């Protein structure tokens, strides 16, 4: 028997110290609710869960961003609804004024006064509709596409074998465009053919800028009098342009024809980009064209004459169609935002569950561990006391 080294007491003390450490960890996990409270608890698990936590937080913010997008769209669409109402009223007045069999000069003058007032109000709405301090309907919201417009006066464009041209976008190379030889009497048909041909030419290029521009090319037509206008838009970055240049010797698209050749207006504007994902580049862009009376070509209507009333009806039909198209695009984007929000919420839920499985405490299992360590701590304390008493038995040998 030895008294200088109480091995049993040392052993009991060591086990009690280990139990105390485990008991402390169990208490920490139970009180915090986290299985990982510091990197030492699970280094690999911390790295993974921290990445998931950052993604979850980003997804929640992206959801709020999409909700803000809905608010922007609703603000703009609400104003456009009122513009629609006024355009419909202006059209009714134009139709009334065209009824010369029942309206005298005084009636037409009164209709003209109301049309002028409504036109002024449309322009006011265009300049004063804002979300916060951001203008929505003055044409500055979002990146406005680089644009080139041509016009045909008689709705008849003859495209021959030599009527080829090239398109060059900023950072790209000149790409030859050749469309099917035909006589195009429909602006919509010509626009569709042009868009397909330009996209095919750009997408076949090895240049990255050309390939990126291919998906952004939009060609539209609009009836103007007895002819039609063709507009080529490219959703390029701000200040970027594209240029159309003759390759063949034909004149279908040249100055003597539609006048399409030349440099486009530069893409411009800012804003209109919504971050709808947790990662860089997950964005949705929105551009809203100006809806002022000047832009809609209803700022100088004159219904005091037969010809003026007839012309006003045509102009208002075009303006109503333009505003309808803008509202339709906004409505489609709102539906898209709502679908994004649903998807973001489901994704957030699933990623949060994944992060929870790694980082959160399983309370039931941890309580089992805590109870075990608590019993061991009590037993260890009792055994340490007993071990400390054993050397006392040596005193019986000294009596």
Q: How does pLDDT run along the chain (399 residues), one tens digit per residue?
A: 666 778 888 888 888 888 888 888 888 888 888 888 888 888 998 899 999 999 999 999 999 999 999 999 999 999 999 999 999 999 999 999 999 888 888 999 999 999 999 999 999 999 999 998 888 988 778 767 788 999 988 888 889 888 889 999 999 999 999 988 999 998 899 999 999 999 999 999 999 889 888 888 889 888 888 888 999 988 777 788 999 998 887 778 887 678 889 899 888 776 688 999 998 878 888 888 888 898 898 988 999 999 999 999 999 999 999 999 999 999 999 999 999 999 999 999 999 999 888 888 888 888 988 898 889 888 988 988 888 888 777 777 776
Residue that is written with structure tokens 């219904």 in the block: 303
pLDDT number for residue 175: 94
Would you say residue 15 lies in a domain? no
Would you say residue 239 lies in a domain? yes
Would you say residue 152 lies in a domain? yes
Q: Which of 72, 75, 70 is nearest to 344 (CA)?
A: 70
Domain count, the chain: 1
Would you say residue 195 lies in a domain? yes
pLDDT number for residue 309: 93
Would you say residue 221 lies in a domain? yes
Instruction: Please tell me whether the overall predicted TM-score, pTM, comes out greater than 0.85 for this model.
Output: no
Do the Cβ atoms of 283 and 337 come closer than 8 Å?
no
Three-class secondary structure of residue 70 per DSSP: helix
- HEC string of 314-378 equals HHHHHHHHHHHHHHHHHHHHHHHHHHHHHHHHHHHHHHHHHHHHHHECCHHHHHHHHHHHHHHHH
pLDDT number for residue 1: 60
pLDDT number for residue 313: 95
Range of 178's domain? Answer: 145-268
Per-residue pLDDT of 29-86, as tens digits, reads 888 888 888 888 889 988 999 999 999 999 999 999 999 999 999 999 999 999 999 9
Would you say residue 395 lies in a domain? no
pLDDT number for residue 81: 96
d(CA 214, CA 218): 9
Would you say residue 153 lies in a domain? yes
pLDDT number for residue 29: 86
The answer for residues whose C-beta is within 8 angstroms of residue 57's C-beta and 6 or more apart is: 278
Would you say residue 212 lies in a domain? yes
- HEC string of 38-62 equals CHHHCHHHHHHHHHHHHHHHHHHHH
Three-class secondary structure of residue 184 per DSSP: strand
d(CA 67, CA 339): 11
Three-class secondary structure of residue 240 per DSSP: coil
Per-residue pLDDT of 216-254, as tens digits, reads 888 988 888 888 899 998 877 778 899 999 888 777 888
């Amino acid at each position: 028997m030895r008294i200088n080294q109480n091995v049993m007491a040392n052993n009991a003390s060591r086990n009690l110290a280990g139990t105390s450490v485990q008991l402390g960890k169990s208490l920490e996990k139970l009180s915090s609710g986290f299985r990982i409270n510091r990197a030492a608890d699970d280094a690999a698990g911390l790295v993974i869960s921290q990445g998931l936590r950052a993604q979850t937080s980003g997804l929640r913010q992206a959801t709020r961003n999409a909700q803000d997008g809905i608010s922007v769209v609703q603000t703009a669409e609400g104003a456009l609804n009122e513009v629609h109402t006024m355009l419909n009223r202006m059209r009714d007045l134009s139709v009334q004024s065209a009824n010369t069999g029942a309206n005298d000069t005084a009636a037409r003058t009164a209709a003209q006064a109301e049309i002028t007032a409504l036109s002024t109000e449309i322009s006011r709405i265009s300049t004063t509709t804002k979300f916060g301090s951001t203008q929505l309907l003055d044409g500055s919201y979002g990146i406005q596409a680089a644009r080139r417009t041509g016009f045909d006066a008689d709705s008849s464009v003859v495209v021959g074998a030599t009527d080829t041209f090239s398109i060059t976008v900023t950072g790209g190379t000149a790409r030859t465009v050749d469309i099917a030889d035909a006589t195009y009497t429909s602006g919509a048909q010509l626009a569709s053919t042009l868009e397909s041909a330009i996209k095919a030419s750009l997408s076949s290029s090895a240049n990255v800028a050309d390939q990126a521009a291919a998906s952004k090319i939009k060609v539209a037509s609009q009836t103007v009098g007895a002819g039609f206008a063709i507009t080529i838009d490219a959703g390029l970055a701000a200040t970027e342009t594209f240029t159309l240049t003759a390759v063949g010797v034909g004149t279908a698209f040249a100055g003597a024809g539609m006048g399409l050749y030349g440099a486009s207006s530069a893409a411009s504007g800012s804003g209109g980009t919504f971050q709808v994902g947790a990662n860089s580049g997950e964005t949705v862009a929105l551009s809203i064209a100006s809806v002022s009376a000047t832009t809609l070509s209803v700022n100088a209507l004159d219904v005091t004459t037969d010809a003026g009333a007839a012309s006003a009806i045509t102009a208002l039909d075009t303006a109503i169609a333009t505003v309808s198209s803008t509202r339709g695009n906004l409505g489609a984007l709102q539906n898209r935002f709502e679908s994004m929000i649903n998807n973001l919420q489901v994704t957030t839920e699933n990623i949060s569950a994944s992060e929870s499985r790694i980082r959160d405490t399983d309370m039931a299992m941890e309580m089992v561990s805590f109870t075990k360590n608590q019993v061991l701590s009590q037993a260890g304390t009792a055994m340490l006391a007993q071990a400390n008493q054993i050397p006392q038995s040596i005193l019986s040998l000294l009596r």
